[in-house]
């Protein structure tokens, strides 16, 4: 409400869950647009077939797709998103301040199996994440791009076996054993006889909770017990780990269109909507400054990826995957475009219109 004009539209009311836009009478250009637009975080499908409806969601499931397919007035498309589902670790908790523990917990998760259980044969290619600051749909993403519909989820992960970032249960157990942890009937005990128990913050989405359930199961199999804490938002989950309230957190990190946005969690000035990490190092700050000073984004990418590698090699974050997004819209709406983010989707509103009815014969 502090910036009430949105060009073709003006804000008439706004809450945390609902924004109402009205046509801006002072906008001099094309008036072929909707007089009133309601933007809400509700995920419910329209109850009336005459409703003009559009939705962008990171919730993609078989049940949801099957339901949409039964509604002839709706069209849909699965595509990439600007988010990375991640497991992030607290920098100063008794266990996770040790890189060996972060490494063991990270590498014990079979991310490909995780993907197969979550999405199965959804017609999109979510693959094992290869970056913390780039999501799968971005052009400079270092892993397998999966921007369009396809077949089942691939059964092989990106080739990361040479950089120590691949998933490896045996490696995870050996790392703990080499650091004076010992396996007992209770679980893993440190040299000080402390039981390795992880307090895990979980973001608010159904996807966050599904991921947490699978990871908790993986850790239980190797003798690591987990206590989960529900967090009210992704930002709150990130902050809980950054401020050492929890040992680790699972949430979805937005990357938007530039790697500098996500990288601000570890270096550079923090924006109000930047996710906290609690980690700041001279090496990361130096690379951040170098990358932001390079005008050409393609040239800067090499520096961003070096910063990315430092974060991952220190296991501050275990990136899991880029969740596919789902766009659903009324068949009467035209000029709906693919979008990389919620913001990009909402930005299209002034360009949307209603298709002309077919002429009767």
Give Cβ neighbours of residue 227 (< 8 Å, ≥ 6 apart).
197, 198, 199, 200
Report d(CA 8, CA 349) in Å as an integer.
9
For residue 360, being part of any structural domain is answered with no
Residue 81's alpha-carbon distances to 70, 92, 137, 170, in angstroms, are: 25, 31, 6, 33
Q: At what angle do helices 169-177 and 99-107 cross, to 10 degrees?
A: 150
| Backbone dihedral angles phi then psi of residue 302, each to the nearest 5 degrees | -60, -40
Helix (H, G, I), strand (E, B) or coil at 228: strand
- Tell me, what's the pLDDT at 146? 45
Q: What is the DSSP letter of 195?
A: B
Cα→Cα distances 219→53, 194, 255, 332, Å: 42, 17, 28, 48
- Residue 361 belongs to a domain: no
CB 59 within 8 A of CB 328: no
Return per-residue pLDDT of the chain as tens, 361 residues: 566 666 888 889 999 899 999 988 888 877 677 889 999 988 788 877 778 999 998 877 777 878 888 888 899 888 888 899 999 999 999 999 999 999 999 999 999 999 988 887 555 667 899 999 999 878 888 887 643 333 333 333 334 433 558 999 999 999 999 999 999 999 999 999 999 999 999 999 889 999 999 999 999 999 999 999 999 999 999 999 999 999 999 999 988 878 998 999 999 777 666 798 999 999 999 999 999 999 998 899 999 999 999 999 999 999 999 988 889 999 889 888 888 788 888 888 888 888 866 555 4
Q: What is the pTM of this model?
A: 0.84
For residue 219, give the 3-state DSSP assignment. helix
Q: Which two tokens stand for residue 261?
A: 């946005």
- The domain containing residue 25 runs over which residues? 5-79+324-354
Do 65 and 87 reside in the same domain of the chain?
A: no
Judge whether 283 lies within some domain. Answer: yes
Could you tell me the two tokens for 293? 């000073």
Give the integer Cα–Cα distance in Å for 122 and 110.
Answer: 19
| CATH code for position 257 | 3.10.105.10
Whether residues 103 and 118 fall in one domain: yes
User: For the chain, how many structural domains are there in total?
Assistant: 2
């Amino acid at each position: 409400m502090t910036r009430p004009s949105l060009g073709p539209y003006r804000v008439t009311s706004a809450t945390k869950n609902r924004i109402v836009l009205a046509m801006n009478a002072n906008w001099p250009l094309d008036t072929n647009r909707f007089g009133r637009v309601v933007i809400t975080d509700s995920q419910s499908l329209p109850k009336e077939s005459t409703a003009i409806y559009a939705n962008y969601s990171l919730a993609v499931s078989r049940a949801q797709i099957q339901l949409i397919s039964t509604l002839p007035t709706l069209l849909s498309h699965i595509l990439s998103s600007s988010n990375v589902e991640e497991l992030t670790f607290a920098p100063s908790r008794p266990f996770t301040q040790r890189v060996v523990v972060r490494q063991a917990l990270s590498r014990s998760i079979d991310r490909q199996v995780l993907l197969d259980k979550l999405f199965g044969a959804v017609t999109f290619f979510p693959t094992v994440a290869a970056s913390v600051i780039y999501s799968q749909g971005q052009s400079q993403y270092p892993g397998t791009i999966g921007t369009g519909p396809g077949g089942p989820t691939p059964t092989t992960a990106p080739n990361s076996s040479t950089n120590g970032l691949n998933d490896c249960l045996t490696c995870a157990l050996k790392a703990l054993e080499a650091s004076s942890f010992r396996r007992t009937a209770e679980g893993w005990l440190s040299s000080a006889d402390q039981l390795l128990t992880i307090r895990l913050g979980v973001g608010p989405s159904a996807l966050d909770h599904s991921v947490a359930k699978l990871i908790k199961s993986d850790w239980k199999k190797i003798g690591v017990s987990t206590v989960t804490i529900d967090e009210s938002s992704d930002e709150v989950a990130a902050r809980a780990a950054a401020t050492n309230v929890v040992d680790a957190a699972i949430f979805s990190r937005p990357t938007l269109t530039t790697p500098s946005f996500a990288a601000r969690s570890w270096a550079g000035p923090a924006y109000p909507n930047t996710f906290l990490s609690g980690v700041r190092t001279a090496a990361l700050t130096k690379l951040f400054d170098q990358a932001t000073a390079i005008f050409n984004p393609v040239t800067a990418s090499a520096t961003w990826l070096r910063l990315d590698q430092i974060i991952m090699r220190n296991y501050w974050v275990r990136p899991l995957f880029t969740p596919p997004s789902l766009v659903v819209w009324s068949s009467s709406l035209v000029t709906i475009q693919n979008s990389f983010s919620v913001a990009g989707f909402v930005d299209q509103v002034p360009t949307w219109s209603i298709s002309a009815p077919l002429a009767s014969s």
